[in-house]
């Protein structure tokens, strides 16, 4: 199957940090379909050879295991081409059309790795130039809008040009091997389904923690914040994967129908829950690995009096029979104590205790590690085996925490496929399972919008985010949030 992948924003950070290394990995693995061509599009004036040299130099900053050797890159580079374009100029789209007509590939992928405000004009121009054919697929990077209204406007503009089946709204978290294993855990094993419900599960914690600050993205991040950047998409998609009902099959719409039901079942926000169940934070100066790091307001591109949140913790519930009464906690932030993403499923205690049980909170739970580890850890109680006196042996045995640990990285090793590699191959093949449908996105925006409105009102009253020192786990209010239910975050156990 021949394909042309047109990479709008072909000289940008996303292109050389993530997309082109992922395509190079697919080429190395032999999974990239033969007969492919990758056309980088940007406003710079470059020849094909100059573009190849630029990407080769940028690859030096890519993670070691994703760096092709000189010989590998030389072969991969034969797929790379360049087209200078101004996305607002119709004539430039006609030149692109002429170049694509040289091969008339079976599939044409238009990957919009550009600023979101260019999505609408790019799609309109693609339609006007006759480039939105049945063989065309369009990929939209996040963030898709900055609120519900802008999201609807972008989706409406794109759907005027492309059918829903041609639109691939990408969330790279859905391509992670760990998230694939989360779905396999739930729907490929009969073991878990009987207890995957309120009668057995006491609470669920979703944490996506980053040690990095905003790096060179201060200006972008200051207009976005953690709620838009992480909660509205990544965290809610993880919540859906945990909480959704089993789909009738593995087809894209069957899976996305069930995720949509979860989003529509999230408890609506009220003034009381907005005040009690949402914590907004911003990192101040602190230390990581013994090094001082600046506060958020000291970062380049950030307004000196910015109220943009770099941390969010919230508590919510799902109003349906399976999950009624089970609190779901979501937490994400920058400059935290560790780079760690996990889902912790806390089980209810036994209804009648017959063994002396130690007062520890680290057992009786399943932890699904997403990054940097990828695996499962089942924390249980087992009978202690230490030598004890005769009187103690005549009594019930004491219990001690133990765990069963499965590391997918060790089990599958070099056969693992990265998130963007998996998603790009799915786009070329036309598989929509791991992409987000428009109504899912709208439901997610609808749910987070009251939080954004509440923060705007707080800002007007001079009530900004709570400060936390870089290198910690966020504001103390995040611990108080879960403590009200008698719970703790897992690192506090």
Task: Tell me the residue ranges of DSSP E strands in 154-209.
Answer: 167-169, 201-209
DSSP track, 386-399: S---HHHHTSPPPE
Q: 321: buried, middle or exposed (CB in 10 Å: 19+, 13-18, 0-12)? A: exposed
φ/ψ (deg, to 5) at 283: -75, 140
Closest by Cα among 28, 10, 30 to 20? 10
Would you give the DSSP letter of residue 191? T
Ramachandran region, residue 134 (left: φ > 0; alpha: ψ -120 to 50; beta: rest): alpha
- Chain Cα centroid distance, residue 427: 18
Interaxial angle between packed helices 90-101 and 119-128, expressed in degrees from 0 to 180 and rounded to the nearest 10: 60
Active site residue 234: yes
Helix (H) or strand (E) holding 419: helix 419-429
β pairing state of 136-140 and 107-112: parallel
Residue 108 in tokens: 């044409």
Which position among 172, 234, 342, 369 bears the catalytic label? 234
Helix (H) or strand (E) run with residue 264 in it: helix 252-265
Please list the active-site residues.
234
């Amino acid at each position: 199957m021949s394909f042309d992948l047109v990479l709008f924003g072909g000289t940008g950070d996303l292109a050389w940090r993530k997309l082109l290394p992922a395509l190079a990995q697919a080429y190395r693995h032999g999974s990239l379909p033969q007969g492919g061509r990758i056309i980088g599009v940007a406003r710079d004036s470059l020849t094909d050879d100059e573009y190849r040299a630029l990407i080769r130099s940028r690859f030096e900053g890519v993670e070691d295991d994703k760096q092709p050797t000189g010989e590998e890159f030389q072969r991969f580079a034969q797929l790379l081409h360049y087209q200078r374009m101004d996305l607002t100029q119709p004539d430039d789209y006609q030149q692109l059309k002429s170049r694509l007509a040289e091969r008339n590939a079976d599939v044409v992928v238009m990957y919009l790795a550009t600023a979101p405000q260019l999505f609408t004009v790019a799609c309109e121009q693609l339609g006007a130039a006759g480039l939105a054919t049945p063989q065309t697929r369009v990929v939209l990077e996040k963030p898709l809008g900055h609120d519900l209204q802008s999201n609807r406007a972008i989706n409406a503009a794109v759907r005027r040009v492309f059918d829903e089946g041609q639109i691939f709204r990408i969330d790279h978290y859905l391509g992670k091997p760990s998230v694939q294993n989360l779905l396999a855990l739930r729907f490929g094993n009969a073991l878990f389904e009987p207890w995957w419900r309120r009668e057995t599960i006491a609470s669920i914690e979703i944490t996506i923690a980053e040690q990095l600050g905003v790096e060179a993205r201060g200006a972008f991040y200051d207009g976005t914040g953690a709620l838009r950047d992480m909660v509205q998409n990544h965290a809610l998609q993880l919540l859906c994967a945990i909480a959704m009902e089993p789909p009738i099959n593995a087809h894209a719409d069957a899976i996305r129908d069930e995720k949509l039901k979860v989003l529509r079942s999230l408890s609506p926000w009220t003034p009381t829950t907005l005040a009690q169940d949402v914590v907004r934070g911003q990192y101040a100066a602190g230390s990581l690995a013994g090094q001082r790091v600046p506060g958020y307001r000291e970062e380049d591109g950030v307004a000196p009096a910015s109220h943009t949140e770099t941390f969010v913790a919230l508590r919510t519930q799902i109003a349906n029979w399976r999950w009624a009464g089970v609190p779901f906690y979501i937490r994400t932030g920058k400059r935290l104590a560790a780079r760690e993403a996990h889902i912790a499923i806390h089980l209810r205690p036994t209804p009648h205790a017959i063994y002396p049980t130690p007062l520890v909170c680290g057992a009786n739970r399943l932890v699904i590690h997403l990054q940097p580890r990828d695996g499962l850890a089942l924390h249980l109680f087992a009978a202690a085996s230490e030598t004890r006196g005769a009187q103690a042996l005549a009594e019930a045995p004491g219990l001690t925490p133990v765990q069963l640990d499965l590391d997918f990285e060790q089990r599958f090793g070099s056969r693992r496929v990265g998130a963007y590699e998996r998603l790009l191959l799915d786009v070329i093949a036309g598989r929509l399972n791991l992409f987000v449908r428009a109504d899912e996105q709208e439901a997610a925006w609808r749910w987070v919008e009251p939080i954004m409105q509440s923060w705007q009102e707080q800002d007007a009253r001079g009530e900004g985010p709570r400060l936390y020192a870089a290198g910690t786990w966020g504001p103390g209010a995040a611990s108080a949030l879960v403590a009200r239910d008698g719970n703790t975050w897992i690192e506090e156990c």
